[in-house]
Amino acid sequence: MPPFWIVDAFTSRPFAGNPAAVVLMDQKYEDAWAQQVAAEFNLSETAFARHLADHAGWELRWFTPTTEVDLCGHATLATAHVLAGETSVGPLRFFTRSGELVVTNTDGRYWMDFPSAAPVPAEEPPSLADALGVKPVGVWSGATGDLLAELPDAETVRDLTPDLALLKHIHARGVIVTAAGSPEYDFVSRFFAPSVGVPEDPVTGSAHTVLAPFWAERLERSELLARQCSVRGGDVYLRLQTPGRVMIGGDAVTVMSGELS
């Protein structure tokens, strides 16, 4: 039976960061079965990794409880953490819906080489302010299919209690809210995606492919430390090195493992 792990990503301690399920497969599987497994775990993401001998890497797919997604950071980090302890030596190569992704372990931290693109100004949806309970400073659209809303300050981001029923009808994969951070962090964010079965994601790697270039331009810095300030919370390290790519760094810790029956 396929083995699985539950890994808390973007944290160095258990019961923080973003939990992901990782299932290692030794053969092909049905999409419907994978979706049922993800619904059973009922975490924001379940990752399915299958070794590809002819590619010297791994097929990697990500499922929320309701749908398959094109890109997921924390479940990729969680998968790298599992493979680093189980089978792998050196960089890990994942073949995904978003192309080839490479993860390395440097100085005890995982670094994911992800595609990145700065968001573009967008028209504010009529119901967005009501859904958030606050008027955004500005609104942008990201290549991930997410809407980015800048809020007045970090405290507003932390204290936000959005109307998830209204947010579910915003035409976007999810809504990222962000603001400049405190002295410890360059910026803070939160991520809501009720339309894909994730009311609030604790720490969202893919959202930082949009946030990194957004804040790098404003702060005139290529290395950033971000805090996603959900209840569980997590730290995300960012390096913009080449156009169209961002290195996303984070820690991870395994909290349980077993086998599917």
Residues annotated as part of the active site = 45
- Residue 90: count of CB within 10 angstroms of its CB: 8
Place of tokens 């390395």: 104
**Which helix (H) or strand (E) covers residue 112, if one does?**
strand 109-115
Q: Nearest CA to 7 among 202, 208, 239, 224?
A: 202
User: What DSSP line would sit under 55-75, residue for residue?
Assistant: GTEEEEEEE-SS-EES--HHH
CB 62 within 8 A of CB 34: no
Report angle CA 31, 207, 77 to the nearest 5 degrees. Answer: 60
**Which helix (H) or strand (E) covers residue 209, if one does?**
helix 208-219
Which residues touch 109 (CB under 8 Å, ≥6 apart)? 237, 249, 250, 251
